[in-house]
A and B are shown apart, each in its own frame.
Chain A
């Protein structure tokens, strides 16, 4: 089993998660990376993803898991020769079994393209956004885990996965508190975390020392 860490930038940030699933099966097919099939009634390629990224938000820390026996260096090379601009892999890890990132990732860091200044998060953080055509109000304070400076810019660590806060839903709040209008294309996911021993652990580290399978 191989885990590719890849970016989602430039034009490719506008590929929706559903379309991405289709893209990846094509990338793997033209790359000639043989992927095992599920054994059910409707066989499908055993490919798994980290939690979806909101459309338009960029990322330098996406993960896809492919059940293949191919040597990881060869697969990495073949993969990168077959991806459209903006979906390149930056790393590849070996893994004994499916690390189930979709379910295990609980948080991610997002960098917003605005100079760092401490945000007034308070005890409650009410935001408004459109959800399936309806205006929704939500207190998201519990989902904003922390804020910090990264390369001089504002970064937020947000709940991701089953409990999720889409970074683009904070844009109105940021506009009001920072005075700058940002779009989803000004946001980049930079790191994702799983929970290990009640602590957040960078997925990269977990994959590197294989602790993810324990």
Chain B
């Protein structure tokens, strides 16, 4: 393995941001000593993005806590480094020991976003690992995937020997142990894969037969689940450069467009006591100046006040700021404005009218939006609002509603203060129907309709002083929707797009719509066939996954959405989604 180290170290002197590849982060586990088996966690994005991913840190920690096994990391190299590696004839190496990926027992990709699919191939290509499981030889590593995109793994199923559906804390290490044992016993590749089939959550595309079911892996004892209390401290600034504490998993809100809200069920909370303990050890082991209390909806955490009371004095004494992202509007309290430097608030009403918010089950009322005025009193001059465009049943009236909210906020602001004037920035994403949500059958609006609505909304907002408008690229939203509900045919589309030069598709400046249009055409499919409305009795590519919330429940939710009937927050009473079959929901 040393053959590459010296050569690689020289490359560092010539590439941009060499800290992306140099390693040596504080809290890196000891990599010396015998290892029976090892796993390289690959994140198909740049270092500064991948290092912010909590999932990778959790799984990395789980493996490194296990005697005899080691986990290392690799991120997608920037294109200058990729070029340098090719010129120097060096395959893609892990960060910690600079070991070629192809020499690991298991190589695991974390796939968190549809537009990262080509980057998986980009990394495999640089690592000299054949793309398709069918083309891999005995000596190749077992290549697996996991992460949020495992909700519907079909578009990339052909690239992987195994896919962990759901949460990897227990499945990953079990899988690594079994592959290692299989190797030690000299088993052939197919027998090794067979030995993985009974691990909960593990899907082996090569051995899958029609009618098979895969149950999503769920950490049942979340309270005592391992947590990285000594996380790696990034060498160069990463996008979330702070200590992250996961308060609970799942979400009680039940917004009908939200994949995470359904996928991470059942809801499992960690006690405030445990959270505080983890927070303290994270701050002490890393020296981070910021602690983020994270979850899908932090104000819903049942022990939030107790935890804040516990941590506030500790953080103040050490000059650590506490951040609470994902707050509900209604839970805003002026004393949250602890940090005097912050004067901007972010809220997500998602839709402009009460009617449409009922359709999507975003339980935010007009009165609650009015409560933002509490923040104006507390001195905030800037509000960021998130909306979605193209939601089912949306009309131009709903878009007008977005402008109305902006006007309403302005008048509330001037009732309270009349100093600088209010800055409102409206950010509008395009609705993407995602698997495992009540909207998984919905159509996505056409590209031309997206552009029309974006233009219309822009013209409405232009009339209001102090409002700025930003929107997501329409083309990349179409692609994301096509890939989200894709099937196995799409592996050919992804491979074709990569061959045509697609990579880093989530970067606006790198995204090439022409390449993707051509890739779909070349394979003989259209994006429309994936973005269209699905029949309710039509088989869906991800039907074989038992995600907890049943298809029947999702359909019932869809029906309610059409009637404009909201569903209560799970904390007000159980809605019987079915997820507690997979593990106890700690709030119902």
A15–B289 touching, CB < 8 Å: no
A37–B12 touching, CB < 8 Å: no
Docked complex: B271-287 residues within 8 A CB-CB of A: 283-287
Select A15's contact among B19, B284, B318, beta carbons within 8 Å: B19
Using C-beta atoms within 8 Å of the partner chain, give the interface range for chain B.
20 to 34
Q: Which one of A21-29, A114-122, A202-210 is at the interface?
A: A21-29
B552 within 8 Å of A (CB atoms): no
A185–B24 touching, CB < 8 Å: no
Select A86's contact among B24, B28, B233, B236, beta carbons within 8 Å: B24
A19 within 8 Å of B (CB atoms): yes
B13–A184 touching, CB < 8 Å: yes
B12–A19 touching, CB < 8 Å: no
Q: Which residues of the partner chain A approach B209 to less than 8 Å between Cβ atoms?
A: none
Q: Which residues of the partner chain B approach A55 to less than 8 Å between Cβ atoms?
A: 18
A28–B9 touching, CB < 8 Å: no
Interface string of B219-259 (1 = CB under 8 A from A): 00000000000000101110001000000000000000000
Q: Tell whether A11 pairs with B26 under 8 Å between CB atoms, given A29-B289, A29-B318, A185-B10.
A: no
A14–B287 touching, CB < 8 Å: no
B520 within 8 Å of A (CB atoms): no
Q: How distant is B5 from chain A, measured CB to nearest CB, in Å?
A: 12
B235–A14 touching, CB < 8 Å: yes
A14–B289 touching, CB < 8 Å: no
Residue in chain B with minimal CB distance to A183: B13
B319–A37 touching, CB < 8 Å: yes
Q: Which residues of the partner chain B approach A190 to less than 8 Å between Cβ atoms?
A: none
User: How long is the Cα–Cα vector from A84 to B19 in the complex, in angstroms?
Assistant: 13
Q: How distant is B297 from chain A, measured CB to nearest CB, in Å?
A: 30
Q: Tell whether A56 pairs with B12 under 8 Å between CB atoms, given A15-B19, A29-B318, A84-B25.
A: yes
Please count the residue pairs between chain A and chain B whose beta carbons lie under 8 angstroms apart in the complex: 72
Q: How distant is A195 from chain B, measured CB to nearest CB, in Å?
A: 32
User: How long is the Cα–Cα vector from A45 to B288 in the complex, in angstroms?
Assistant: 14
Q: Which residues of the partner chain B approach A19 to less than 8 Å between Cβ atoms?
A: 19, 235-237
Residue in chain B with minimal CB distance to A12: B24
B24–A10 touching, CB < 8 Å: yes
A177 within 8 Å of B (CB atoms): no
Q: Tell whether A26 pairs with B288 under 8 Å between CB atoms, given A12-B24, A19-B235.
A: yes
A30 within 8 Å of B (CB atoms): yes
Q: Which residues of the partner chain B approach A139 to less than 8 Å between Cβ atoms?
A: none
Docked complex: A88-115 residues within 8 A CB-CB of B: none
B583 within 8 Å of A (CB atoms): no
User: How long is the Cα–Cα vector from A37 to B319 in the complex, in angstroms?
Assistant: 10
Interface string of A43-61 (1 = CB under 8 A from B): 0010000000001100000
Interface of B is mostly: loop
Q: Which residues of the partner chain B approach A11 to less than 8 Å between Cβ atoms?
A: 22-24, 235
User: How long is the Cα–Cα vector from A14 to B19 in the complex, in angstroms?
Assistant: 5
Q: Which residues of the partner chain B approach A29 to less than 8 Å between Cβ atoms?
A: 283, 287-289, 318-320
User: How long is the Cα–Cα vector from A179 to B24 in the complex, in angstroms?
Assistant: 33
Q: Which residues of the partner chain B approach A30 to less than 8 Å between Cβ atoms?
A: 284-287
B22–A14 touching, CB < 8 Å: yes
Q: Which residues of the partner chain B approach A183 to less than 8 Å between Cβ atoms?
A: 10, 13-14
A16 within 8 Å of B (CB atoms): yes
Q: Tell whether A26 pairs with B289 under 8 Å between CB atoms, given A11-B24, A19-B235, A84-B26.
A: yes
B24–A25 touching, CB < 8 Å: no
Q: Which residues of the partner chain A approach B10 to less than 8 Å between Cβ atoms?
A: 183, 185
Residue in chain A with minimal CB distance to B12: A14
> Counting chain A CB atoms within 10 Å of each CB, which of B12, B320, B341 scores highest?
B12
Q: Which residues of the partner chain A approach B319 to less than 8 Å between Cβ atoms?
A: 29, 37, 45
A15–B287 touching, CB < 8 Å: no
User: How long is the Cα–Cα vector from A27 to B26 in the complex, in angstroms?
Assistant: 9
User: How long is the Cα–Cα vector from A197 to B287 in the complex, in angstroms?
Assistant: 41
Residue in chain A with minimal CB distance to B23: A11
Q: How distant is A45 from chain B, measured CB to nearest CB, in Å?
A: 8
A82 within 8 Å of B (CB atoms): yes
User: How long is the Cα–Cα vector from A84 to B235 in the complex, in angstroms?
Assistant: 10
Q: Which residues of the partner chain B approach A84 to less than 8 Å between Cβ atoms?
A: 24-26, 28, 233
User: How long is the Cα–Cα vector from A31 to B9 in the complex, in angstroms?
Assistant: 30
Q: Tell whether A185 pairs with B287 under 8 Å between CB atoms, given A16-B236, A22-B237.
A: no
Q: Which residues of the partner chain B approach A185 to less than 8 Å between Cβ atoms?
A: 9-10, 12-13
A85 within 8 Å of B (CB atoms): yes
Q: Which residues of the partner chain A approach B288 to less than 8 Å between Cβ atoms?
A: 26, 29
Q: How distant is B516 from chain A, measured CB to nearest CB, in Å?
A: 31
Q: Tell whether A16 pairs with B287 under 8 Å between CB atoms, given A11-B235, A84-B24, A183-B14.
A: no
Q: Which residues of the partner chain B approach A37 to less than 8 Å between Cβ atoms?
A: 319
Q: How distant is A95 from chain B, measured CB to nearest CB, in Å?
A: 23
A15–B236 touching, CB < 8 Å: yes
Q: Which residues of the partner chain B approach A82 to less than 8 Å between Cβ atoms?
A: 26, 287
Q: How distant is B482 from chain A, measured CB to nearest CB, in Å?
A: 38
B341–A42 touching, CB < 8 Å: yes
User: How long is the Cα–Cα vector from A60 to B517 in the complex, in angstroms?
Assistant: 55
Q: Tell whether A27 pairs with B287 under 8 Å between CB atoms, given A11-B24, A19-B236.
A: yes
User: How long is the Cα–Cα vector from A82 to B318 in the complex, in angstroms?
Assistant: 16
Between-chain CB contacts (< 8 Å), 7 pairs: A11-B22, A15-B235, A26-B26, A29-B287, A84-B26, A84-B28, A183-B14
In order of increasing CB-CB distance, the 5 nearest A-B pairs are A11-B24, A26-B287, A30-B287, A183-B13, A29-B287
In the complex, besides A30-B284, A42-B341, A84-B28, 7 extra interface pairs with C-beta distance below 8 angstroms are A19-B19, A25-B287, A29-B288, A55-B18, A56-B18, A82-B26, A86-B24
